[in-house]
Amino acid sequence: MPYLRFKGFDEGFLRENAPLFVDEFARVAEVPREKVKIELIPAIQITATPRSLEIFMFPREQRKHDLMAETMDTLLNHFGIQDVHIFFIPLTQRLYYKEGQPLRHISWLPEYRSNENE
């Protein structure tokens, strides 16, 4: 994790540029690049909806979220893709499970090291 979930994007474009999105997101989010996951979510538009980038991750400071969104928007604009809605879906550590067990420790996320007992 984090998960970058794209809706309304071309699969070929994402496959070709995934390494760049992963590298840039990992850099600004300060997470190991192997933790960043990219998914393309197919959607059937019923009404006019914009392309979107949903970012599932544990919360950070507002300025960090702002920087991540700005970086992704700048990167998309570089490829001529504009008007993408970018939003975060914050995850809660104590409600995130791996193999049926709650996540207690995230070694690569310093602000969560002190929350192990929650």
HSE value, Cβ hemisphere, 13 Å, CA-based, for 61: 7
The model's pLDDT over 26-36, given as tens digits with 9 standing for 90+, comes to 999 999 999 99
Dihedral of CA atoms 102, 105, 111, 114 in degrees, nearest 10, equals 100
Q: What are the boundaries of each domain within the chain? A: 3-113
Tell me, which fold does domain 3-113 have in CATH?
Macrophage Migration Inhibitory Factor (3.30.429)
Closest of 76, 81, 47 to residue 68, by C-alpha: 76
The model's pLDDT over 42-99, given as tens digits with 9 standing for 90+, comes to 999 999 999 999 999 999 999 999 999 999 999 999 999 999 999 999 998 878 888 8
Q: Give the span between the Cα atoms of 73 and 82, in whole angstroms.
A: 8
